[in-house]
Amino acid sequence: MTPLPKAERARAGADARRRVPPAAHAAWRPGPDRPDPVALLEEQAGTRVPQLVPIRYGRMLVSPFTFFRGAALPMAADLAATPVSGLDAQLVGDAHLSNFGLFASPERNLLFDMNDFDETLPGPWEWDLKRLTASLIVAARDRGFDHHQARHAVRAATLSYARHMTEYASMRALDVYYSRVDAAAIEEYVTTRARPYLERTVKAAAHHDTVHELPKLTTVVDGRRRIVDLPPTIWHPEWADPDIPDEAIAAYRLSLQEDRRALLDRYVLEDVAVKVVGVGSVGLGALAALFGGGDPDDPLLLQVKEAEASVLERFLARSTYANHGERVVAGQRRLQAASDVFLGWSKGKGGRHIYIRQLQDQKASAVVDAMDHDDLVSWGELCAWALARGHARSGDPAAIAGYVGDGEELGDAFADFASAYADQNERDHAALAAAATSGRVAVEIGV
């Protein structure tokens, strides 16, 4: 099929804007048939490790913000009831502000990008931006910022998305593909008042890799390196065998590029332990895998994570991938400027779908508790920039730019939606707290 000229694609976006104007995105009111959010979480728990589910609930109950982080499914159900533009891109699927951060490219440059793709799936681009902007309001309230400050953060993020999408719409497809948000661009972009926070984050990322984490995560026993038990987040469990079958490693190897297979062949699996990570993904299989390169000072630490169907699949088209690990990997490669050289997929024990990547590779995420208002605004703008770049790579930037325009109307609409949805999130958080008090769900606090 011959690609359409940019002007025609931009007109398609403008036509979509006339059919579903930005103001249509402003409202959020739960319908009478809205699913019980706790029931949705319990439904997810049915496929997770029973011993870890109370930890998930405990982490979600810490605050409305941590609840929001774990409530991708309830919000997906809610987004399915909202108007859509009709313009699709590859969605992150869980685009809250803590799922963006700094990581190292294969060339060892620090990039700002999305870093969690468990729920990735093609869908309406605005679902990602709505989840991001709602997370800004929830985080702003968590930090005690007032209503106007919270709305300002949303408007700034929406304008950043619109401004950068317009820029990508004017570029050649190859230039969009090669574009990235690197550390130098970040320091030039943020305001003077927010720069110290970002500089600290960049510095933290530069020292957050395998070399620096090795003494904390491993020890040498009889000349061989082993993973250290650090309960409650990493341990060798008595109730499960965390071993990775040889056939799973062989299939994972084939999912890598040929040169990276040769690199993996320099290592052999030596130890595996359970490693509890995140909020929403707690209870899914997650392992730390230690590979040795022949000498104690030449290790490779990989993270093995279980992948289930995206929470978006019950509301959008089903994934075209037979393995959800491959779905995650494919979505990550479409959205990220540069992906981990060891990113691949396989099947684990019992046919569980898994994806694999490096455990620590110069990563740093948002530390919401340390943010002042300027920090939150700048972080939100960077998240929206990275999101626009990912959507431009995987969708049609000309059409999306034609829809968002200058972002002013969309900013007002998304601020209204995000504020109303933050109210809903607080009600849902209270519902989970009530379920814990009544004994409906078991909760383990402080893990």
Which tokens sit at 329?
A: 């990997």
Give the pLDDT confidence score for residue 194 in this predicted structure.
62
Q: Are residues 241 and 201 in the same domain?
A: no
Give the pLDDT confidence score for residue 394 in this predicted structure.
96
Give the three-state DSSP class for 327.
helix
- Distance between CA 267 and CA 73 in Å, rounded? 38
What DSSP designation does 22 have? G
Q: Are residues 392 and 259 in the same domain?
A: no
Q: What phi-psi label fits residue 328: left (phi over 0), alpha (psi between -120 and 50 degrees) or beta?
A: alpha
**Segments forming the whole domain that contains residue 376:** 6-207+368-438
Asked whether residue 141 is domain-assigned, the answer is yes
- For the cut 60, the answer to whether the pLDDT of residue 152 exceeds it is yes
- Distance between CA 143 and CA 206 in Å, rounded? 27
- Our CA dihedral for 21, 26, 30, 34, rounded to 10 degrees, sits at 50
Last residue of a domain, one of 358, 378, 395: 358
Q: What is the mean pLDDT of residues 273-285?
A: 87
- Distance between CA 354 and CA 374 in Å, rounded? 38
Per-residue pLDDT band for 305 (boundaries 50, 70, 90) equals: very high
C-alpha closest to that of 203 among 116, 110, 97, 301: 110
Between 259 and 367, the more confident residue is 259
Q: What is the mean pLDDT of residues 283-289?
A: 89
Q: Are residues 33 and 179 in the same domain?
A: yes
Q: Are residues 115 and 172 in the same domain?
A: yes
- For the cut 90, the answer to whether the pLDDT of residue 146 exceeds it is yes
Phi, psi of 402, rounded to the nearest 5 degrees: -65, -30
Q: Are residues 51 and 127 in the same domain?
A: yes
Give the pLDDT confidence score for residue 210 in this predicted structure.
63
Give the pLDDT confidence score for residue 353 in this predicted structure.
97
- Distance between CA 196 and CA 202 in Å, rounded? 10
What total number of domains does the chain contain?
A: 2
Q: Are residues 56 and 146 in the same domain?
A: yes
Asked whether residue 363 is domain-assigned, the answer is no
Per-residue pLDDT band for 43 (boundaries 50, 70, 90) equals: very high
- Distance between CA 24 and CA 255 in Å, rounded? 43
Give the pLDDT confidence score for residue 304 in this predicted structure.
94
Q: Are residues 378 and 343 in the same domain?
A: no
| Lowest-confidence segment of 35-44, 217-226, 337-346 by average pLDDT | 217-226
Asked whether residue 87 is domain-assigned, the answer is yes
What is the model's pTM? Answer: 0.93
- Distance between CA 152 and CA 168 in Å, rounded? 24
Asked whether residue 423 is domain-assigned, the answer is yes
Q: Are residues 45 and 117 in the same domain?
A: yes
Which tokens sit at 221?
A: 């026993």
Q: What is the mean pLDDT of residues 417-428?
A: 98
Whole-number percent of the chain with pLDDT over 70: 94
Per-residue pLDDT band for 302 (boundaries 50, 70, 90) equals: very high
Phi, psi of 172, rounded to the nearest 5 degrees: -70, 150
Q: What is the mean pLDDT of residues 414-423?
A: 98
Which tokens sit at 334?
A: 């479409």
Per-residue pLDDT band for 211 (boundaries 50, 70, 90) equals: low
Q: Are residues 273 and 155 in the same domain?
A: no
Give the pLDDT confidence score for residue 184 in this predicted structure.
76
- Distance between CA 315 and CA 20 in Å, rounded? 19
Degrees, nearest 5: CA angle 176-13-186: 35
Per-residue pLDDT band for 205 (boundaries 50, 70, 90) equals: low
Give the pLDDT confidence score for residue 241 in this predicted structure.
64
Asked whether residue 82 is domain-assigned, the answer is yes
Q: Are residues 53 and 120 in the same domain?
A: yes
Instruction: Give the Å distances, CA to CA, from 191 to 80, 119, 183.
Output: 36, 32, 14
| Lowest-confidence segment of 145-149, 151-155, 238-242 by average pLDDT | 238-242
Asked whether residue 443 is domain-assigned, the answer is no
- For the cut 90, the answer to whether the pLDDT of residue 208 exceeds it is no
Per-residue pLDDT band for 435 (boundaries 50, 70, 90) equals: very high
Q: Are residues 91 and 132 in the same domain?
A: yes
Asked whether residue 350 is domain-assigned, the answer is yes
Phi, psi of 367, rounded to the nearest 5 degrees: -105, 90
Largest CA distance in the chain: 70
Q: What is the mean pLDDT of residues 218-234?
A: 84
Last residue of a domain, one of 305, 334, 358: 358
Per-residue pLDDT band for 200 (boundaries 50, 70, 90) equals: confident
Asked whether residue 1 is domain-assigned, the answer is no
Last residue of a domain, one of 329, 358, 387: 358
Q: What is the mean pLDDT of residues 289-299?
A: 85
What DSSP designation does 319 have? P
Give the pLDDT confidence score for residue 419 in this predicted structure.
98
Which tokens sit at 398?
A: 């000309």
Instruction: Give the Å distances, CA to CA, from 83 to 19, 20, 95, 258.
Output: 10, 7, 19, 44
Q: Are residues 246 and 234 in the same domain?
A: yes
Q: What is the mean pLDDT of residues 289-315?
A: 91
Give the pLDDT confidence score for residue 412 in this predicted structure.
97
- Our CA dihedral for 340, 311, 403, 378, rounded to 10 degrees, sits at -50
Give the pLDDT confidence score for residue 278 in this predicted structure.
82
Give the pLDDT confidence score for residue 424 in this predicted structure.
98
Whole-number percent of the chain with pLDDT over 90: 69
Between 269 and 225, the more confident residue is 269
- For the cut 60, the answer to whether the pLDDT of residue 324 exceeds it is yes
